[in-house]
Amino acid sequence: MVQGATLSRWTMTWFATALVFLIGAEALMAAGYGFPAVSAEAPESLVLVHMIAIGWLSLLMCGALFQFVPVLVGRRLRAPGLVLPALVGLVLGLGCLLGGFLQLAGTLELDVSLLAPAGVLLPLGFALAAWAIGCTLWEGRPLAPAARFVAGGLACLAATAALGVLLVCVLSGMVTTFELVALRARLLPFHIAAGLGGWLGFTAIGVSYRLLPMFLLSPEARKSTSGAVWACGGAALLLLVVVAPLALVVGAGTDIIVAVALLLAAAALVFYGADVLFFYRHRRRKNVELNSKAAVCAFAMLFLSALLAAALLASGSMARHAGALLYLVAFGWLTGLGLSQLYKIVPFLTWLECYGPVMGRKPTPRVQDLVVEPRGKVWFVLYFVSVLAGTGALLMNWDSLFRITAAGTLAATIAIIGELVLARLLVNVATERRLPAGASRPHLFLPPLRHG
């Protein structure tokens, strides 16, 4: 048996599925489908947004958490049998959701609305994934700082799903209460804040608190600042995800709540920035690998997003340019960070799976021998430059330029995924060292069959 208790069997399958959705969404953008050719709230844009938020980022995050949370709390994953059903539920649910949006767009004509089954399958898939991750965290109490962020992220996932179901009910015509229909547009920002800022963002921050010191060989986070990020960020999310939507429902104003939340979020980002700098400054590893360099670009995009948000708010043009801001957050920060970490995690897990059994007994290649960094660097530069240019094109309302930059992002993503495939296939390892006797060649994205 090659896989040990701490290697999650289906992680590569989650990653592969997520990457398929990423390529699909980027190809649609390069083809000019959805935003910015039509409005950000048009059904075509909703197709794009959910391919990215659920298909790519959420599947990536779940796959990573199944692997990562057990390492974080030093315990095996609870209920590992839920991992595959969760993936099936999410993919089917997302398929229904996208189909439902296509019905709204008039592209797809069916007698029954697909949004209703999506409203069941997606929360179910997320619930299964969150149950396995949540139970593992629960057993690992008291939680380490990084794990607390993951727990907060899971809570936000629940809130995102709840608000999402509400929106689906309105969009599908299942709910026709006038008040709710009127609230739909005003609830949307909080659905986005809970999903992008809470579930994906807060969790990514937590994961980085563990991965950065691990890959850079730096000391663990300082308690005061990481605690401040947790407190300020958590309070901001509580206001945006729970208090503000409730205020809307009871008919109260949300301006002050949102203002306080934004100030708290800004404070959290400042403390987080200080921690990221601390990790890089105090690293004991002299040569920074490509994954950590690309992560620096992703962090820069996060702070650039914060500056852009401040500028848009100050100039009163947030409503007009929210799409550009969300694009920078989703592609510059979250996707950039995700791809950069995959560039390390995939070779590392492949190496462990393949050479674990002969480790120490026979000479094995190093993890870095599975990748060719100078080549990968070109793709990451192309990726981040095209995302920045794309954000600029959106801010200038220059749609044709945006399609060109989107093609650049797509090309870079395909190239990075190609590098991951080559790493899985051990192509970059010299032939004579590739498979010492006793090593086992990993499957591309399906787990090995169970023995015994």
- If the CB atoms of residues 5 and 313 are measured against another protein, the closer one turns out to be 5
- Least distance between another protein and beta carbon 71 (Å): 6
In the set 220, 225, 266, 381, which binds another protein (CB under 8 A)?
220
Whole-angstrom Cα distance, residue 10 to residue 446?
7
Task: Give me the phi and psi of 359, to 5 degrees please.
Answer: -55, 130
Residue 223, interface with another protein (CB under 8 A)?
yes
In the set 174, 359, 396, 444, which binds another protein (CB under 8 A)?
359
How many other β-carbons are positioned within 10 Å of the β-carbon of residue 110?
10
- Least distance between another protein and beta carbon 146 (Å): 11
Per-residue contact track with another protein, 363 to 382, x per CB under 8 A? -x--x---------------
- If the CB atoms of residues 227 and 392 are measured against another protein, the closer one turns out to be 227
Please return the burial class of 46, using the count of CB atoms within 10 Å of its CB with bins 0-12, 13-18 and 19+. Answer: buried
- Least distance between another protein and beta carbon 229 (Å): 12
Q: Which residues 127-166 are close enough to bind another protein by CB under 8 A?
A: 141-142, 144-145
Query: Which residue shows structure tokens 């990481």?
Result: 226
In the set 31, 88, 110, 214, which binds another protein (CB under 8 A)?
214
Whole-angstrom Cα distance, residue 403 to residue 26?
10
Per-residue contact track with another protein, 277 to 316, x per CB under 8 A? -------xx-------------------------------
DSSP state of 429: S
Tokens representing 344 are 């390390």
Using an 8 Å Cβ cutoff, are 66 and 59 in contact? no
| 416: CB partners within 8 A, 6+ apart | 339, 342, 343, 376, 379, 380, 383
- If the CB atoms of residues 68 and 126 are measured against another protein, the closer one turns out to be 68
- If the CB atoms of residues 316 and 360 are measured against another protein, the closer one turns out to be 360
Using an 8 Å Cβ cutoff, are 80 and 132 in contact? yes
In the set 186, 320, 361, 443, which binds another protein (CB under 8 A)?
361
Q: Which has the closest alpha carbon to 53: 166, 169, 165, 201?
A: 201
Q: Which stretch binds another protein (CB under 8 A): 170-178, 223-231, 236-244, 407-415?
A: 223-231
- If the CB atoms of residues 189 and 357 are measured against another protein, the closer one turns out to be 357
- If the CB atoms of residues 136 and 364 are measured against another protein, the closer one turns out to be 364
- Least distance between another protein and beta carbon 428 (Å): 17
Whole-angstrom Cα distance, residue 83 to residue 130?
10
Residues in contact with another protein, counted by CB under 8 A, come to a total of: 32
Per-residue contact track with another protein, 34 to 73, x per CB under 8 A? ------------------------------------xx--
Dihedral sign computed on CA atoms, order 175, 179, 181, 186: negative
- Least distance between another protein and beta carbon 273 (Å): 20
- Least distance between another protein and beta carbon 128 (Å): 24
DSSP state of 287: S
Whole-angstrom Cα distance, residue 69 to residue 91?
22
Name the residue type at position 88. Answer: V
In the set 4, 81, 85, 418, which binds another protein (CB under 8 A)?
4
Q: Which has the closest alpha carbon to 354: 410, 417, 293, 429?
A: 429
- Least distance between another protein and beta carbon 227 (Å): 5
- Least distance between another protein and beta carbon 269 (Å): 20
In angstroms, the Cα distances linking 312 to 103, 308, 391, 439 are: 34, 6, 13, 55
Whole-angstrom Cα distance, residue 207 to residue 19?
19
- Least distance between another protein and beta carbon 388 (Å): 31
- If the CB atoms of residues 20 and 288 are measured against another protein, the closer one turns out to be 288
- Least distance between another protein and beta carbon 356 (Å): 6
How many other β-carbons are positioned within 10 Å of the β-carbon of residue 36?
20
Peptide bond into 145 cis (omega under 30): no
Chain contacts with another protein (rule: CB under 8 A): 1, 4-7, 70-71, 74, 141-142, 144-145, 214-215, 217, 219-220, 223, 227, 230, 284-285, 348, 351-352, 356-357, 359-361, 364, 367
